[in-house]
Amino acid sequence: MEKLVELLRHGQSVWQDYIERGQTRSGGLRRLVAAGLRGVTSNPSIFEKAIAGSSAYDEQVAAIIEAQPDIAVEALFELIAVEDIREAADALRPVFDESAGLDGYVSLEVSPRLAHDTEATLAAARRLWRAVDRPNLMIKVPSTPEGIPAIETLTAEGININATLMFSLRHYDAVSQAFLRGAGRAAAPERLASVASIFVSRVDTAVDKQLDTLGGAAAPALRGIIAIANAKAIYQRFRSRFDGAEFAALRARGVRVQRVLWGSTGTKDPAYSDVLYVEQLIGADTVNTLPPATLDAFMDHGRVEDTLPQALDVSQRQLAQLAQLGIDIDAVCQQLQEAGVKSFADAYEKLLEALEQKRAALRAN
């Protein structure tokens, strides 16, 4: 696990893209924290796998339905999720304290059902923030058009935000500007922590599919490299936005930068390195949130060097070549965001179905 410490020296924090009660209660999460893990993220897909595939939640579910037989299944899930998030936040609290609030966060997502409803997102985020009641919580809000004003408002209210489901430079611009506006209105902006979560591997999956339909020699040469080129373009914008005059007044007030977080960093194409989206995305003021298998792979054979600032001109040429082939990266990324919202909504529905089945089975016993 010394590579986690090495990454930190390069300015990158590693968070785990996974949460499960067995890990928090067995001491597994605390061991990872002791080895250098700096945070945890969750999403509906992760919770669905954890709850549906484990008996670790049966005791709590039974106690809740005994006390509240008619509880709505969404409310039941929130009670379960809040307990998991609190336990993970407590395990990470030493990191939060040691880093003066830079790291040590656990992210909890508002219901994907609300991705296109600003007011409902605001209400849900406030409710979850109060329910978890931990300073090292981040509320995940999707960067949909309806999510952007919610991100700004919640930031202004002093709530830590993980802006999620971002794929393109256009998505990043909207989120980072919302953060700046919100932080400028916050009563205590120096206490804010926020990340802008860029999904990476799915970009290659989508672009590669389009490249495979094209003829000629140019298309195959771009397979498996556009996601990194896109990420580097976003990182360049991040640096210019937060290193320059745009952020200067807030920096003077003690506000931390809204770090870029790389998400969806597990490699989906077996032809590519299983640590591709770790090794190629290392740079200052970033977070990489890794699923357990990718974390293990990087610990085993990953290399650490500052790759994000390298070959930026090459990345720009690769994006230009993609456009010359008729592939619109913004259109691809917009479709990915829409598909991502649907994917999380579908996982959320499966999660609620699994909880309903668990409740029925427990009642039958």
For residue 1, what pLDDT is reported?
58
Burial annotation 195-211 (CB, 10 A radius, 16+ → b, else e): bbbbbbbbbbebbbebb
| Three-class SS state of 336 | helix
- Which of 140, 209, 232, 342 is labelled catalytic? 140
Long-range contacts of 99-104 (CB under 8 A, 24+ apart): 99/38, 101/135, 101/136, 101/191, 101/193, 101/256, 102/13, 102/193, 102/256, 103/13, 103/38, 103/39, 104/38, 104/39, 104/136
Q: How far apart are CA 193 and CA 173, in angstroms?
A: 18
Q: Domain limits of the chain?
A: 2-364
Q: How far apart are CA 226 and CA 278, in angstroms?
A: 15
Q: Where are the beta strands (DSSP E) in 38-187?
A: 39-41, 105-109, 137-142, 161-166
Longest Cα separation, the chain: 66
Burial annotation 244-273 (CB, 10 A radius, 16+ → b, else e): eeebeebeeeebbbbbbbbbbbbbeeeebe
Q: Name residue 285's beta-bridge partners.
A: none
For residue 258, what pLDDT is reported?
98
For residue 47, what pLDDT is reported?
87
pLDDT digits (tens, 9 = 90+) for 214-253: 988 899 999 999 999 999 999 999 999 999 999 999 999 9
Name which CATH class applies to 2-364: alpha beta
For residue 170, what pLDDT is reported?
98
pLDDT in tens, the chain (365 residues): 589 999 999 999 999 999 989 899 999 999 999 999 999 999 888 888 888 777 888 889 889 988 998 899 999 999 999 999 999 999 999 999 999 999 999 999 999 999 999 999 999 999 999 999 999 999 999 999 999 999 999 999 999 999 999 999 999 999 999 999 999 999 999 999 999 999 999 999 999 999 999 988 899 999 999 999 999 999 999 999 999 999 999 999 999 999 999 999 999 999 999 999 999 999 999 999 999 999 999 999 999 999 999 999 999 999 999 999 999 999 999 999 999 999 999 999 999 998 898 888 877 77
Examine the residue annotation and report whether 49 is marked as an active-site residue of this protein: no
Query: What is the distance between the terminal CA atoms of the chain, rounded to a whole angstrom?
Result: 44
